[in-house]
Amino acid sequence: MSDNVSSWLIESEKIDYLEDSDDTDADPDYVDCANEHIENEYDDSDDDFSESNVSNSNRSIIILRSRSRSRSPLPETSYYLGKDNITKWFFDPPSNKIRTRRRNIVLHLPGVKRVARDAVSILDCWKLYFPNSDVDNIVKCTNIYLDKLRQNYSNQSNLRETSNIEINALFGLLYLAGVIRSNHLNLDDLWSDDGLAPPYFRAVMSKARFYILLRALRFDDIGTRATRKQIDKLAPIRTLFDNFVTRCQNNYTVGENVTIDEMLEGFRGRCSFRQYIPNKPNKYGIKIQALVDSRTFYTANMEVYVGTQPDGPYKCDNSPMSIVKRMVAPISKTGRNVTMDNWYSSIPLSLDLLKNHNLTMVGTIRKNKREIPPCFLDTKKRTLNSSVFGYGEDILLTSYVPKKNKNVLLISTMHEQGNIDPESVENKPEVIMFYNQTKGGVDVVDELKGEYSVSRISCRWSLTIFFSLMNIAGINSQIIYRENTGKILSRRAFLKNLGNELTKPFMINRLQQPNLSISLRQQIIKLSGHKTAVNVDQSSSSGSRPKSPPFFSNSATILFSPGALLFLSLLIILSISSSLGFFIFGSAE
């Protein structure tokens, strides 16, 4: 993977994630807009360190080692004692072992998997995530809803059944609207003929048809939805979402460092699991947990938060520890590192990931955890940029003071030594530097999605989730394309080419419609570059008569209308009168 992937990022100031690691800033104040009672997910208590979560059922003492690099005096004992009066943190690191640690020995090399290596065109890379089978299912479900709409309208010209090629064209127009940052622009402005709107949209399909397709776009059978919703709140898009996540995992192997964090897809419509997160740009929306490669920004796993599911196969625990275990399932036993913030992280989770999943963890940790010694929290006697390290056989605890009366706590099962980064002016520990480098994977994906987003304002949460899948498919497919071809395209150029490839087949097929205006037909030929279609509208200038609909296709209506009968009667009378006059005057001569 080329290092030029960083060129995707918008030029702006780099975020220092360390500054957002404090409990008052980094911990979002989650509010469930549906007033659902969520017991475990937003609990700040230390229940994750209960007896049921510790591997030893006899509640064995967790002994850790600690060493201080601050100017605060050390206690007379060789360890600090946590607030729980059980956990011990020793000053000195564990003795060096002769054998190399097994952790962070990556067992599966990162890169494109075999199933996706043959995709060399932009469209082929995108179809790895939305293959024809999924598009055909969308066509089928959309046609079911179109049939329902036809029963309520007399004018059904724009309610005809859709097809695979037309749905792909719809997706292409959504990508192109995102490229020109017009995803929230009124449709009248995109389809106007005043010379200000891009002509490409009118050349692909009419505004009315685009609107109808977006309105009718469905991802499941509406006839069986009520039954499926009894056991699954995500029923309207469950099949498509699960298939998409599976393909993300089957097409690419992530690198040695991944990030777990949340995305918030902006949505203000009615939804039982809509979330309110004040420190997010959208504030209201659908929360999606994501696992992202920290270097390439490839999204490998996702899970939509739907609150408490009904009893059935989709009901699961929504505690942070359970969410992380489900998210790391695709990379379990592979020796990778997972970076997360203090909403997910805990000492029992870090030890569980290391022992049961062969995964290390680096993350900030909340100050209310009872395993943390009080002296790690006290900043009054600490100097600026000072550090205190806690050592154990499998974990490192770090306390760093970046500002006066403020400290940051991190835990790591990846780092053995509490070293200070020699290049850091502020004497930051290496574990904090590593955290800042790997923390922003999901945030970068959010930024990339928002730069050229396909999302349009909608009252349907399932459509909001689908727009998010389209944005992620645009990012993941570009990573596959770059790996397979070695070509480096800007994100804008990649999405523009993708939109053209999705829309061009339907645009060319539209030339077969006999009722297109000459100007629109010429515009389609110009934009599509379809040379063989020139004969269709140039035939009139070459001397041959263009094909037209039969004049008497509605002969019964024309011949037997009252006006037509009156006109024919007058012609007959005039003809008879002329014949009689000619006969009389001719005989007189």
Structure tokens belonging to residue 525 = 């030929």
Helix (H, G, I), strand (E, B) or coil at 276: strand
Task: Give the residue among 117, 46, 57 at the shortest CA–CA distance from 82.
Answer: 46
Percent of the chain with pLDDT over 90: 57
pLDDT digits (tens, 9 = 90+) for 391-442: 877 899 999 999 988 999 999 999 988 889 888 889 999 999 999 999 999 9
pLDDT (0 to 100) of residue 556: 42
Phi, psi of 363 (to 5 degrees): -170, 160
What's the mean per-residue pLDDT of the chain?
Answer: 81
Mean pLDDT of 533-537: 41
Mean pLDDT of 535-560: 41
Angstrom distances, CA of residue 509 to CA of 169, 370, 512, 519:
11, 67, 6, 17
Phi, psi of 411 (to 5 degrees): -120, 150
Pairing of the two strands 31-32 and 257-266: unpaired
Residue 459 and residue 556: Cα distance in Å, rounded? 47
142: pLDDT strictly greater than 90? yes
Angle between helices 164-179 and 491-509 (to 10 degrees): 140
Q: Are 446 and 468 in contact (CB under 8 A)?
A: no
State the amino acid at position 279 in one-letter form.
N
Residue 190 and residue 187: Cα distance in Å, rounded? 5
Residue 141 and residue 22: Cα distance in Å, rounded? 47
pLDDT digits (tens, 9 = 90+) for 502-523: 999 999 999 988 888 898 999 8
445-474 core/surface letters (b: 16 or more CB in 10 A; e: else): bbbbbebbbbbbebebbbbbbbbbbbbbbb
Structure tokens belonging to residue 397 = 């605890």
pLDDT digits (tens, 9 = 90+) for 337-375: 999 999 999 999 999 999 999 999 999 999 999 889 988
| Domain edges within the chain | 118-229+476-512, 557-588
pLDDT digits (tens, 9 = 90+) for 244-296: 999 999 999 999 999 999 999 999 999 999 999 998 888 999 999 999 999 99
Residue 339 and residue 440: Cα distance in Å, rounded? 9
Q: What is the CA radius of gyration of the chain?
A: 33
Strand partners, 398: 389, 410
38: pLDDT strictly greater than 80? no
Question: Is the pTM here over 0.85, yes or no?
Answer: no
Q: Are 199 and 527 in contact (CB under 8 A)?
A: yes
C-alpha dihedral (243, 248, 249, 254), degrees to nearest 10: -170
pLDDT digits (tens, 9 = 90+) for 53-74: 333 333 333 444 444 444 344 4
* Non-local CB neighbours of 55 within 8 Å, separated by 6+ positions: 351, 352, 355
Task: Give the residue among 328, 359, 338 at the shortest CA–CA distance from 249.
Answer: 328
Q: What is the DSSP letter of 429?
A: B
pLDDT digits (tens, 9 = 90+) for 159-211: 999 999 999 999 999 999 999 998 888 898 999 888 788 899 999 999 999 99
Q: Are 289 and 441 in contact (CB under 8 A)?
A: no
221: pLDDT strictly greater than 80? yes
Q: Are 305 and 33 in contact (CB under 8 A)?
A: no
15: pLDDT strictly greater than 50? no
Q: Is 207 exposed, middle or buried (0-12, 13-18, 19+ CB in 10 A)?
A: middle
